[in-house]
Chain A
């Protein structure tokens, strides 16, 4: 069973920078995993921020960026704002070798404090 691992929780100061990571039990996260990052606030549906590792949606604030670092996926928030406090989930695609499936990470609860 494929497992995607994220930090359970992180804290960042207002205006500060924080990096969330996303690791795969199958090995290095690559462009073929089509890494997505989604943000979810209480009572709301998830909302995709980053896709295909580093591409931003039109609604994604410029302070969010995605990358691959050392075989893991990364979401960097530069200049955190109070409204960025939320749960963040990564989403990875696994091809036919792993069942042609999409798998969410367990999520990171980000506190801006």
Chain B
């Protein structure tokens, strides 16, 4: 059974940093692109970042580029996002998701999310 479990969320001051983790199990982690998607309270989801199978390619939404860094540890089946210089508008539930294989361009499995609150 595919499982994705996020952790690391919490309350952080504006300008602060936070590192989220996503523990993956039930599939061959290093075969899949992975992604972070966030959802602000009462808003729709927003794609944040993708990383390819070996971590050599990373893409970001404009609003986080230069502040967030997506990474992965294939030996530990884990996905991360380092979030620096956090702003109030980064407040959201952060989900990790797995992308389908080959030509299956879809975030097929999702975690349950971890809440990040940026506030003074």
Contact = CB atoms under 8 A, between A and B. Distances in A.
Interface stretch (B8-16, B45-53, B67-75, B82-90): B45-53
Nearest to B50: A102
Contacts, number: 59
Interface in B59-111: 59, 61-62, 95, 100, 103-108, 110-111
Contact of A34 (B47, B62, B105): B105
Contacts of A63: none
A9 to B, nearest CB: 13
Interface in A24-47: 34, 36, 38, 40, 45-47
B112 interface: yes
Nearest to A40: B45
A93 B105 contact: yes
A101 B95 contact: no
A52 B45 contact: no
A105 B44 contact: yes
Nearest to B6: A45
Contacts of A34: 105-106
Interface residues of B, number: 22
A48 B37 CA distance: 13
A101 B59 CA distance: 7
A91 interface: yes
B103 A104 contact: no
Contacts of B104: 51-52, 55
Interface of B: 35, 37, 44-47, 50, 59, 61-62, 95, 100, 103-108, 110-113
Given A51-B108, A55-B104, A91-B47, 13 more contacts: A34-B106, A45-B111, A48-B106, A48-B107, A51-B100, A51-B105, A52-B105, A52-B106, A57-B106, A99-B62, A101-B62, A102-B50, A104-B44
